[in-house]
Amino acid sequence: MAEVLRVALCDDHSVVRSGLRRILEAEGDLEVVGEAATAAEAVALAGASRPDVFVMDLGLPDRSGIAATAEVREASPSTAVLVLTVHDDLAYLRRAFEAGAVGYLVKEAADIELIQAIRQVAAGRQYVHPSLGAALLAPDAPPARLVGPGGELSDRELEVLRKIAIGLTNAEIAEGLFVSVRTVETHRAHISQKLDVHNRAELVRRAREAGLLEDAESP
């Protein structure tokens, strides 16, 4: 007998949730363990139920589904978040993946594609709506690289470093990246450790040397 995958749903429209539940529960290996209509409800459900997959809408009434994705991942790190949205837009896709999603599907997709996406992300693989997949693989520009005594900074650490260097607070960085302040503080500690720097002035200098401030400093 196939292992049952536990799925949670978040969408602010009850009709949509009911339709999704019917589609999923028609499959013998999928079980809907809960529904949420808001980001707050989604986070609480993730912490209580620890589903294998959380199907997440982006348009929620209390805050964005992207912010909810990051919070669900913090509440239940083992849960794979699959975004199901009307936004057929690469910018939304990238922001969702930065927040911790591993799948992105547009609502116009066929029922069978939703089921396939759920099974794929539950198995530890990424799933991207076909119309967006090719674009996701074509980055806008090669990322900068910065190596210190403690190792090379990750892409996310480079992004945090740039935001620190242009004067943003931890709270502002967290809001812009759709993560918690604690996550930003952790990134900041890792950056300081890897670069062996001890104050903001040194961080600004290293960011400038790496070319991270060229756009910010251009006239």
Which fold is adopted by the domain 5-136? Rossmann fold (3.40.50)
CATH 1.10.10.10 in the chain, residues? Answer: 147-217
CATH 3.40.50.2300 in the chain, residues? Answer: 5-136
Q: Domain 147-217 carries which CATH code?
A: 1.10.10.10
pTM over 0.75: no
Average pLDDT over residues 26-49: 96
Rounded Cα gap, residues 127 and 121, in angstroms = 6
Give the model confidence (pLDDT) of 130-162 as tens digits: 767 655 555 454 445 677 778 888 878 888 988
Residue 2 DSSP label: P
Q: Is the pLDDT of residue 17 over 50?
A: yes
Give the model confidence (pLDDT) of 48-67 as tens digits: 999 999 999 998 999 889 99
- What is the largest distance, in Å, between two alpha-carbon atoms of the chain? 64
- Burial class of residue 213 (count of CB atoms within 10 Å of its CB; 0-12, 13-18, 19+): middle
Q: How far is CA 68 from CA 23, 125, 208, in A?
A: 24, 21, 33
